[in-house]
Amino acid sequence: MASEMRLLTSLLAALAVVSGCGGDDEGSTTAADAGSAQPQSAQSAKSLLEVGTTVAPITSIVANVGGDRVKITGIVPEGTNSHTFEPKPSVAELLSEVDVLYVNGLVLEEPTKELAEGSLKDGAEIVELGTRSIPESEYAYDSSFPKDGGKPNPHLWTDPTYARKYAEIVRDDLSERDPDNADYYAGNFERFSAMIDELDKAMRASFDTIPREKRKLLTYHDAYAYFGRTYGWDIVGAIQVSDFEDPTAKEVSGLIDQVKAEKVPAVFGSEVFPSPVLEQIGKEAGVRYVDVLRDDDLPGEPGSPEHSWAGLMHFDYVTMTEAMGGDSSALKAFTPRDVATDKADYPQ
């Protein structure tokens, strides 16, 4: 099976060279190896695995493992609602070139998956990182992602322990498709995993400065269910309802009562989903309204160290700690970065 896969992969790579696919940015792709000891020939540069990804945090995790040995193209533009995103038909062309498409799964990207199923070339596959990282018995369902809606909460990547699982699956999958670079992928994974240990420690140290009873999250977008379980934060609620509309007046007044009763110091909105409703709840309940959290929109400019999965985690958890009156110095001492060259294409 594995050897068939390798044969197929090399055949496909050969075909890719013959057909001359690659679009208009091969300059940046081949330049990726400029710093390595032995310059690659044009032919071997052409045989880089082509990888598609969906949301930006997944693009970043894949780039941390794949580095400059893969060509990565993200599909979901940053700053869009990834939960309702539908790719343009023209994305089919891009999907027809990839060797593998890494998606979150957990029913987050059905339209993209559907387009991919009709577009992928022979031997190319869709790998669902989230779905492979958690057993069904541990899926989170709540008011934004009700069980009868059939869509579990998909936000595993805001919990570093699951991000590590994503990276592990990517390492194993890339190594199978591209065994020549298996050591490289393994080394990158080790560095990424060590960075996660460092981040995890910093998060726990910062959160420990917030009294346990104050670690309560009321967010607009419901992106922290798994994080809450792992790091001991109670998810008081999420305001966004399952159809991504605003809650009714009755639901809003219920939430205001809840915020007052729970005595949370702050409520959180997000960049992608500006919410006048959450602002109203904050004002009427007399608590701070912090509207900058991000669940899949990376901070910083593409190419900067902050524009990474680690940068996203750092930004969100510094923000939460400070809004709750905690001391974020442990987190601030952590430097978000990529452990491998990140040359992925992040559509804006």
Q: Which is nearer to Zn ion, 144 or 181 (CB)?
A: 144
Tokens of 88: 């343009």
CB of 270 to Zn ion, least distance (A): 8
CB of 57 to Zn ion, least distance (A): 10
The rounded distance, in Å, linking the Cα atoms of 6 and 166 is 23
Q: Which is nearer to Zn ion, 128 or 295 (CB)?
A: 295
The rounded distance, in Å, linking the Cα atoms of 82 and 78 is 9
Q: Which is nearer to Zn ion, 80 or 96 (CB)?
A: 80
Candidates 6-14, 221-229, 279-287, 325-333; binding stretch for Zn ion (CB under 5 A): 221-229
The rounded distance, in Å, linking the Cα atoms of 79 and 90 is 20
Asked if residue 220 lies in contact with residue 240, where contact means CB atoms within 8 angstroms, the answer is yes
CB of 180 to Zn ion, least distance (A): 36
Q: Which is nearer to Zn ion, 127 or 223 (CB)?
A: 223
| Distances, alpha carbon 216 to alpha carbons 207, 236, 268, 300, in Å | 11, 6, 11, 27
CB of 136 to Zn ion, least distance (A): 20
For strands 216-219 and 234-238, give the pairing: parallel
CB of 225 to Zn ion, least distance (A): 11
CB of 82 to Zn ion, least distance (A): 6
Contact string 274-303 vs Zn ion (x = CB under 5 A): ---------------------x--------
* 195 sits in which H/E element: helix 182-207
- How many residues at the interface with Zn ion, by CB under 5 A? 2
Q: Which is nearer to Zn ion, 220 or 289 (CB)?
A: 220
Q: Which is nearer to Zn ion, 199 or 223 (CB)?
A: 223
CA proximity to 290, closest of 313, 314, 267:
267
CA proximity to 291, closest of 307, 309, 306, 273:
273
Which residues are at the interface with Zn ion (CB under 5 A)? Answer: 223, 295
